[in-house]
Amino acid sequence: MKKVIAAAAACLILSGCASASNPGAMAVAVTPQSLIDTTSSLSHAIAAPTVTGGKATNPMWVSNVSDEDFAEALRQTLSANTMLATENARFNLAAQLVQLKQPMMGFDMTVTATVRYTLTDMAGNTVWTKDIVTPYTARMSDAFMGVKRLQLANEGAIKANITQLVTDLIAESKRNARMAALN
């Protein structure tokens, strides 16, 4: 009987552990709004992105978004949207996770991601920079366990942020002469 109780307690403890973010859950697939053609200044133009400001998840505390997971989500997104350069990149993209505002607890958990994106040409000149702030709420119906809801809210906030990035980059490429001149 003691073994059964110990096993049940271990399962409860383990099920409450925080999990790291999933890059695939944060990546953005191609949408009609994100389609670019081969003549776009962004087509296969951006080198693999760099990310700073993230934090690794401590399983005994709360879910976070690491630099590596965020960078992989950006890389997957840029690749899916034909913006990732395999060679001869024209731009570097840097993302600084300025803040991942998380609740301590709650039924519905809203996480707000603030990310500063900087696009530079290969000479290091800033072509475009923008802070993007996006909230996402994971509801009790999405996951019973609070640690899982927080992970989902983190992933949703970063995915919404990357979605806005892609939208803003496309809009900027259409109106920014400096970006077009690098074509």
Nearest Cα neighbor of 25 from 141, 131, 142, 105 is: 142
Q: What is the CATH number of the domain that holds 51?
A: 3.40.50.10610
Query: Whole-model pTM?
Result: 0.83
pLDDT at position 161 is: 97
Cβ 28 vs Cβ 72: under 8 Å:
no
pLDDT at 69: 95
Nearest to 100 by CA among 57, 37, 141: 57
Q: Is 155 left (phi over 0), alpha (psi -120 to 50) or beta?
A: alpha
**Count of structural domains, the chain:** 1
User: What was the pLDDT predicted at 3?
Assistant: 53
pLDDT at residue number 32: 66
Nearest residue to 68 via CA among 100, 28, 97, 98: 97
Q: By C-alpha distance, which of 170, 144, 120 is closest to 12?
A: 144
Domain of residue 46 covers 2-181
pLDDT in tens, the chain (183 residues): 555 444 333 333 434 677 777 887 889 887 766 778 788 888 899 999 999 988 887 666 678 889 999 999 999 999 999 999 999 999 999 999 999 888 877 788 899 999 999 999 999 999 999 999 999 898 877 778 778 898 899 999 999 999 999 999 998 888 876 566 554
